[in-house]
């Protein structure tokens, strides 16, 4: 799961997908990163931690890292939160195999629509709640498709 800062959207996506695969008993490695390094080593934004905790999921111990090309070797699927993140990820790809791993997260729940997860960082509390529900729906589809594999 990849966003810009790795302190709002992608930590939420990591926490939600991890929670869902755990519930299904699937052995899947889930992680998140940011395309930028501004927040490397920080825990998620306190507003995102609070919103996620209100839904029973604890993301407080996650720590931000920057996405790098090694992640293409570690993961089978790489989900970008928005089109700008997706382009930055693709710029680090070394092969068609790498490029084929990258998809916009919301295409899992809204196929073919190329929607972006809005960045809640600059806005109010409601933005975090809205993003929670968008990301939850996408992670539900992903965990169900992993369960069918
Ligand atoms: P995120 O949100 O990409 O969802 O983690 C942001 C967090 C921090 C910044 C931008 C977006 N920033 O510019 O520091």
pLDDT digits (tens, 9 = 90+) for 26-53: 999 999 999 999 999 999 999 999 999 9
Q: What is the percent of the chain with per-residue pLDDT over 90, rounded to a whole number? A: 95
Choose which residue among 34, 65, 67, 130 to substitute to test ligand 1 binding: the one with the highest number of ligand atoms within 8 A of its C-beta: 34
- Whether residue 124 has pLDDT greater than 90: no
Q: Which among 119, 127, 45, 116 has a CA at the least distance from the CA of 80?
A: 116
- Look-up: residue for tokens 């998140």? 32
Q: Given this model, what pLDDT does residue 123 score?
A: 84
Per-chain mean pLDDT for the chain? 97
Q: What is the percent of the chain with per-residue pLDDT over 70, rounded to a whole number? A: 100
- Binned at pLDDT 50, 70 and 90, residue 149 comes out as confident
Q: Which of 82, 119, 136, 139 does the annotation list as catalytic?
A: 119
Catalytic residue list contains 139: no
In the DSSP assignment, the letter for residue 95 is S
Q: Which of 3, 8, 136, 139 does the annotation list as catalytic?
A: 3
Q: Which CATH architecture has domain 2-148?
A: 3-Layer(aba) Sandwich (3.40)
Catalytic residue list contains 3: yes
What's the CA gap between 126 and 81, in Å, rounded?
Answer: 18
Give domain limits for the chain.
Answer: 2-148
What's the CA gap between 126 and 138, in Å, rounded?
Answer: 19
19-28 residues labelled b (16+ CB within 10 A) or e (exposed): bbbeeeeeeb
- Using a cut of 0.75, tell me whether the model's pTM lies above it: yes
Q: Given this model, what pLDDT does residue 127 score?
A: 94
Which tens digit of pLDDT belongs to each residue from 57-95? 999 999 999 999 999 999 999 999 999 999 999 999 999
- Measure 3 CA to ligand 1 centroid, in angstroms: 8
Q: Given this model, what pLDDT does residue 125 score?
A: 86
- CA 78: distance to chain centroid? 9
Q: Which residues pair with 104 in a beta bridge?
A: 80
For residue 119 and ligand 1, the question of a CB distance below 6 A is answered with yes
């Amino acid at each position: 799961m990849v966003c810009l800062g790795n302190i709002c959207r992608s930590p939420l996506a990591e926490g939600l997908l991890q929670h869902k695969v755990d519930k299904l008993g699937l052995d899947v490695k889930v992680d998140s990163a940011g395309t930028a390094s501004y927040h490397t080593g920080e825990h998620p934004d306190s507003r995102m931690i609070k919103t996620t905790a209100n839904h029973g999921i604890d993301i407080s111990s996650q720590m931000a890292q920057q996405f790098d090309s090694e992640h293409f070797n570690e993961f089978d699927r790489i989900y970008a939160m928005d089109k700008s993140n997706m382009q930055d990820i693709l710029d680090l790809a070394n092969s068609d195999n790498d490029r084929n791993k990258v998809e916009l997260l919301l295409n899992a729940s809204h196929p073919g629509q190329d929607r972006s997860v809005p960045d809640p960082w600059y806005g109010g509390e409601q933005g975090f709640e809205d993003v929670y529900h968008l990301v939850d729906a996408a992670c539900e589809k992903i965990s169900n498709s992993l369960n069918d594999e």
